[in-house]
Amino acid sequence: MTLLRVENLSKEFGGVHAIEDLSFAINPGTIHSIIGPNGAGKTTLFNLITGVYTPTSGRILLDDHDIAGKKPFELARLGMSRTFQNLQVFFNMTALENVMVGHHLHLDRRFFPSLFRLPAIVRRDAEARAHCLELMEFVGIGRYADADANSMPYGALKRLEIARALAARPRLLLLDEPAAGLNATESREIDEVIKKVAATGVTVVLVEHDMKMVMGISDHILALDYGRKLAEGTPSEVRANDDVVAAYLGAH
Amino acid sequence: MMLSPRTGGLAALAFVVSLAPAFFPNAYFYDVAVNALFNAVVCVGLNLLIGYGGQISLGHAGFFALGAYGSAILTGTHGMSPLAALAVSAAAVGVLAFVVGRPILRLKGHYLAMATLGIGIIIHIVLKTESQITGGPDGIGVDPFTVLGLAVSGDKAWYWVGAGLLLFSVWTSLNLIDSPMGRALRAVHGSEVGAEVVGVDTGRYKVLVFTLSAVFASVVGSLFAHKNGFITPDIGSFFRSIELVTMVVLGGMASTFGAVVGAVILTLLPQMLASFEDYEAMVLGGIMMGTMIFMPKGLLPSLRAAFKRRRAAP
């Protein structure tokens, strides 16, 4: 049983093939990495899977249901959540409020009880606050709980996005370059966070350039180049693949 | 005892509005104060859309005017009770805002501003030209506001109606902002795609807050019509819409109390500057430009930040 299956997926931008005839599958409970040189189509692939872009052709199946063309908020309801390479933090809110927005789908969203602040809203909000604080501790940014998001350092914002995505209780979590812009120590800490998340049963898909991280934590790796599949397999298989080596170091 | 900002602010506002009449030198001040309160309520609603939701509307005076004309026509021509007319008008404006909001709130920035501007202008023109129903440019008389046979008459009575409505709208606005719905709304302002991927239907929230703010404007419009006893299409003019947005921006976007402060100041200022006579508009414009240059976040948020800095300093 696969969680996510991509079949013959293509995406064109004005004649440019960002993704071309790509097929692969992701099994539940695994850490799956997507690698490739800059411009290989990794982020485009993420945007297609999460509904930010609509495919030109091909199918994306979640639990064997075609989800191509569904909107991101509909996919969130089906258990998909993500982070962004270029941060999409709510800078007009506090860190904790950012995470609480992540918990949106599990909260009481009725209009009139919200308007009159009925006890049911207050109680569930208090529970959500406690839960989101735990998530912030879990990713290691507990001390920023009451900070305004626009006053936080870059590394903490990266984790804030992970906490926000986790607050949605996803089955499938997509992380777009979680270690980009972080130093070596911070990257190792993110490693640990990702492993802990996977250990709770969440399937993780990540795009990452940090090869040490990718090789260290992935169960499965998909290598892309020019929107096409270059190689796929376990870390050791991909590392030994001649095409992958050529794409990264230049053909010789 | 420490009060939360919500209860503390609300208590302070209640204190100010209940004591303010003691300082009114004459009856004319009540009239100005009622207008200030009415504007403040519209701005609290508009601030939900502009300050918290990050959207814009240059047509809200149109919704205000529809509420006013709805009440005038339903009570005058059709003999409906004022309270029922207010509710029916507000519901109709809500439906209209919902229907037009769905397509236009997909637009962003300048394009959304243009579209909302268009709505306001259309409403203004219809009120002017459908003179058989609306009385045309000459306006229309409105019956007094009565509830169960009791008439609200005189500026003093209207002051307390306005004060009560303002407190109610500030209270509900603060509640909404701090609820899951309100956070989702603010998230739409922060990052639409960021909100979408955690399950927020951003389109729905934008339409909802647009509708809600239009209903605020409509309800106040209805009360304004009864209070004034006479209305013209110019209460829905483009200039009025701009004035409302200016109040929100001047007071401080994403600050409910800021919207109140902005509305009160911009209602009172022209009165206070009356002694400048011909230069009144220039002085008013100068004050607004100065505020935006030196306090770009608006009066209340800028003052609050300055106060925090002073307290933090040793």
Cβ of A165 and B197 within 8 Å?
yes
> Which band of pLDDT confidence, cut at 50, 70 and 90, is reported for residue B84?
very high
For range A21-26, the mean pLDDT: 94
Percent of chain B at pLDDT above 70? Answer: 98
HSE-up (13 A, CA, CB side) for residue B170: 28
CA distances to A84, B133, B182 from B191, in Å: 11, 44, 14
Within 8 A by CB and 6+ apart from B142, the residues are: B68, B71, B72, B75, B76, B225, B226, B228, B229, B230, B231
Q: Is the pLDDT confidence value at B314 over 60?
A: no
- To probe the interface with A, which of B47, B197, B206, B213 has the most A CB atoms within 10 Å? B197
- Confidence at residue A250, expressed as pLDDT on a 0 to 100 scale: 67
For range B232-251, the mean pLDDT: 94
- Confidence at residue B13, expressed as pLDDT on a 0 to 100 scale: 95
Within 8 A by CB and 6+ apart from B281, the residues are: none
- To probe the interface with A, which of B172, B174, B176, B179 has the most A CB atoms within 10 Å? B179
Q: Report ipTM (2 d.p.).
A: 0.92
Q: Looking at this protein, which amino acid is placed at residue B7?
A: T
- pTM for the whole thing? 0.93
Q: Is the pLDDT confidence value at A18 over 60?
A: yes
Cβ of B198 and A50 within 8 Å?
no
Q: Looking at this protein, which amino acid is placed at residue A129?
A: R
Tens digit of pLDDT for each residue in B127-186? 999 999 999 999 999 999 988 888 888 889 999 999 999 999 999 999 999 999 999 999
Q: Is the pLDDT confidence value at B308 over 50?
A: yes
Q: Is the pLDDT confidence value at A94 over 60?
A: yes
CA A106, CA B134: separation in Å to the nearest integer? Answer: 48
- Confidence at residue A22, expressed as pLDDT on a 0 to 100 scale: 94
For range A176-201, the mean pLDDT: 91
Q: Is the pLDDT confidence value at A74 over 90?
A: yes
Sequence length of chain B is: 314
Q: Looking at this protein, which amino acid is placed at residue A134?
A: E
> Which band of pLDDT confidence, cut at 50, 70 and 90, is reported for residue B1?
very low
B181 at interface of A, judged by CB pairs closer than 8 A: yes
Give the nearest partner residue to A93 out of B172, B180, B190, using CB atoms. Answer: B190
Q: Looking at this protein, which amino acid is placed at residue A229?
A: K
Q: Is the pLDDT confidence value at B215 over 60?
A: yes
Cβ of B194 and A90 within 8 Å?
yes
- To probe the interface with B, which of A101, A151, A160 has the most B CB atoms within 10 Å? A101
Q: Is the pLDDT confidence value at A52 over 60?
A: yes
Structure tokens at B138: 């000459």
- Confidence at residue B25, expressed as pLDDT on a 0 to 100 scale: 83
Cβ of B197 and A90 within 8 Å?
no
B193 at interface of A, judged by CB pairs closer than 8 A: yes
Least confident of A34-38, B85-89, B104-108, B236-240: A34-38
Least confident of A148-162, B179-193, B293-307: B293-307
Cβ of B195 and A101 within 8 Å?
yes
Q: 3-class SS at A229?
A: strand
Cβ of B194 and A89 within 8 Å?
yes
- Confidence at residue B284, expressed as pLDDT on a 0 to 100 scale: 80
CA B74, CA A120: separation in Å to the nearest integer? Answer: 39
B77 at interface of A, judged by CB pairs closer than 8 A: no
Residue B48: list chain A partners with CB under 8 A: none
Q: Is the pLDDT confidence value at B281 over 90?
A: no
Other Cβ atoms less than 10 A from the Cβ of B267: the count is 21
CA B212, CA A176: separation in Å to the nearest integer? Answer: 36
**Contact call for residues A84 and A46 (beta carbons, < 8 A):** no
CA A94, CA A24: separation in Å to the nearest integer? Answer: 39
Taking any CB pair shorter than 8 Å as contact, residues of chain A touching chain B are 50-52, 71-73, 75-77, 80-82, 84, 88-93, 97-98, 100-105, 107-109, 111, 114-117, 121, 125, 128, 149, 161, 164-165, 167-168
Cβ of B179 and A100 within 8 Å?
no
HSE-up (13 A, CA, CB side) for residue B113: 6
**A81 beta partners:** A173
**A224 beta partners:** A229
Percent of chain A at pLDDT above 70? Answer: 98
Percent of chain A at pLDDT above 90? Answer: 81
Residue A105: list chain B partners with CB under 8 A: 198-199
B215 at interface of A, judged by CB pairs closer than 8 A: no
